[in-house]
Chains A and B, each alone.
Chain A
Amino acid sequence: MDQNNSLPPYAQGLASPQGAMTPGIPIFSPMMPYGTGLTPQPIQNTNSLSILEEQQRQQQQQQQQQQQQQQQQQQQQQQQQQQAVAAAAGTSGQAPQLFHSQTLTTAPLPGTTPLYPSPMTPMTPITPATPASESSGIVPQLQNIVSTVNLGCKLDLKTIALRARNAEYNPKRFAAVIMRIREPRTTALIFSSGKMVCTGAKSEEQSRLAARKYARVVQKLGFPAKFLDFKIQNMVGSCDVKFPIRLEGLVLTHQQFSSYEPELFPGLIYRMIKPRIVLLIFVSGKVVLTGAKVRAEIYEAFENIYPILKGFRKTT
């Protein structure tokens, strides 16, 4: 009951600008467009492949995100004040759950005082019957982003392989040029159709920047390269829950989602339905999440699985 007015210590980070990337911030609020700018926006297609422009555009996006985060913080503060008022008025010790619902779900309209700070928000529940749980305080780190882009013109792979640096081309084995750049550290597969796959980046912005750099290399070799339909296809994240997990127990109770064959692979493969993410869960407590198209799906999936994993903590 003591934590009604102030943020619980584990959630201190959520109120700060640096905590903006944590799932605590109401990314799913209808007040904000889904993703609040943390997800790649469909960009007005600049055909110019200038890296400087790209970096400036990303900086502008970050500034916009910060402004949005400040607005969200103000909203949160208002909610806390309302919560404190209501709690003082005698609504029960549901405070932890309220805090949870207010940070993770829709915010009441600023300026209105809800009669009862209700957890019944319009947001659909993600998992059935999760007990009143706090946010895990653990943020999955992105490890790999795979994206595709169309350069919009046919390419002569042999020319590219011979003239570009750090390129490999072995048509007998694979029909694409494999090119790498140091910054951001990524690998690109460039096909003769003009389509390109960019892998290895650690963030959405880095993936886009890297793809633009590859496109510029191709452009400098004399091809009329454009930058069409950039799309992030897959995102991979990982984190550590810091306790061992009873995978056998988990596969028994979550049969319809899990598959665990220790003789084949030491991790349990959990296919979450909503969001549609595949998690690899290991005895050590390390978790790999993959299959996301946007960062929020990784965070959401982890917040869903964390209480379940806590329930299967190994006690020995």
Chain B
Amino acid sequence: MAYQLYRNTTLGNSLQESLDELIQGSLNTYRFCDNVWTFVLNDVEFREVTELIKVDKVKIVACDGKNTGSNTTE
């Protein structure tokens, strides 16, 4: 079996910080599919100059800002 798997495991390992966030902080889950990131965070503080909003659960859906060309998902 040609272990080109190993060349690509850096991809898996390099984003270990996502998991570190999971352990340290409030990141509950994350998802990346079709170039869209979805995060669910717990116990979040939104701080603006005047206001402070505390929230138990927040879902963030983020799309890429730039135009990255056509999606070629199967």
Contact = CB atoms under 8 A, between A and B. Distances in A.
Interface in A173-192: 173-174, 176, 178, 180, 182, 185, 187-189
Nearest to B22: A182
Interface-centre pick from A148, A173, A187, A199 (highest chain B CB count, 10 A): A187
B12 A178 contact: yes
Interface-centre pick from B5, B18, B72, B73 (highest chain A CB count, 10 A): B5
A128 interface: no
Given A182-B22, A187-B13, A200-B13, A165 B29 contact: yes
Contacts of B74: 158, 171
Interface residues of A, number: 28
Contact of A174 (B11, B23, B31): B11
A200 B19 CA distance: 11
Contacts of A182: 19, 22-23
Contacts of B52: none
Contacts, number: 71
A197 interface: yes
B67 interface: no
B72 A165 contact: no
B53 interface: no
A201 to B, nearest CB: 12
Nearest to A168: B32
Given A189-B8, A199-B9, A168 B31 contact: yes
A154 B72 CA distance: 21
B37 to A, nearest CB: 9
B35 interface: yes
B2 interface: no
B29 A174 contact: no
A166 interface: yes
Interface residues on B, range: 20 to 34
B49 interface: no
B26 interface: no
Given A158-B33, A171-B73, A187-B16, A146 B9 contact: yes
A189 B5 contact: yes
Interface in A91-121: none
B55 to A, nearest CB: 20
A189 B22 contact: no
Interface string B46-66: 000000000000000000000
Nearest to B11: A174
Contacts of B32: 161, 167-170
B23 A166 contact: no
Contacts of B9: 146, 189, 197, 199
Nearest to B73: A171
Given A169-B33, A171-B72, 6 more contacts: A146-B6, A148-B5, A168-B30, A187-B13, A189-B5, A199-B9
Interface of B: 3, 5-6, 8-9, 11-13, 15-16, 18-19, 22-23, 29-33, 35, 72-74
26 contacts: A148-B5, A161-B32, A162-B33, A165-B29, A165-B31, A166-B22, A167-B31, A167-B33, A168-B15, A168-B31, A168-B32, A169-B32, A169-B33, A170-B35, A171-B72, A171-B74, A172-B72, A176-B8, A178-B11, A180-B18, A180-B19, A187-B12, A187-B13, A189-B12, A197-B5, A199-B12
